[in-house]
Amino acid sequence: MVKIVLTASNTFVGKAIRWITCGDVSHVMIQYGSDLWGGEWVAEAIAKGVVKIPAERARHRVVKEYKCKFDPKPGLHAIRNLIGQRYAFEGILVAGWLILLWRIFKKKINRPFKNVKGQFCSEVAAKFFNAVPTLPKPQLPLHTGYWNFNCVSPEDIDDYCAANQQYFE
């Protein structure tokens, strides 16, 4: 079974993410079982980069979790190549500023992430969802078109899962 786990860190960054996104969550990770390694594991983007670690080391301040009712293999295979990539520090800063500007002025900036490298947590989750052919491709309120991976927030992931209860429990 695969779960989407949403947490709310009490750190300055976690609080800032929740304030900027007007949300309850500041981090997202993908939890899965492993017969080979034993127990539950998570794939997540943290300061070290995109990593796989035992779930008990990552599950802190869990706010919500959604069990996936769909075949997760295409999504997991799609994000496999992200493991080991660095964290997108500059991307999270740019995303924060863009969301803040959108909140204040209701103005979107096109293609702000053209040269940003690395991944952040909600970007990994959005790429996981995007690769599953049975899942609807979302249109997010801040963007025109489908997932703009570099601008997806943990709150967007929460909203997507909550709005698609036929795919999540």
**Which portions of the chain are predicted below pLDDT 70?**
87-118, 139-148, 150
Which pair of structure tokens corresponds to residue 83?
A: 């493991």
d(CA 86, CA 165): 32
**pLDDT at res. 28:** 96
pLDDT in tens, 43-69: 998 878 889 999 999 999 999 999 999
Query: Across the chain, what does the average pLDDT equal?
Result: 81
Least Cα distance to 130 among 146, 112, 111 occurs for 146
Q: Three-class SS of residue 41?
A: strand
Domain residues for the domain of 128 are 2-163
CA-CA-CA-CA torsion sign (163, 150, 147, 106): positive
Q: Is residue 114 part of a domain?
A: yes
In a domain, 51, yes or no: yes
pLDDT recorded at residue 116: 45
User: What pLDDT is recorded for position 99?
Assistant: 62
Asked if residue 169 is part of any domain, the answer here is no
CATH number for the domain spanning 113: value is 3.90.1720
- Number of domains into which the chain is organized: 1
In a domain, 81, yes or no: yes
- The answer to whether residue 14 sits within a structural domain is yes
| 13 belongs to a structural domain | yes
Task: Spell out the alpha helix ranges (H) of the chain.
Answer: 12-21, 55-58, 73-79, 89-105, 121-130, 154-163
Confidence (pLDDT) at 63? 97
Note whether residue 89 is domain-resident.
Answer: yes
CA count, 13 A, side-chain hemisphere, 37 = 11
The reply to whether 158 falls in a domain is yes
Q: How high is the pLDDT of residue 138?
A: 74
Q: Which helix (H) or strand (E) holds 46?
A: strand 40-46
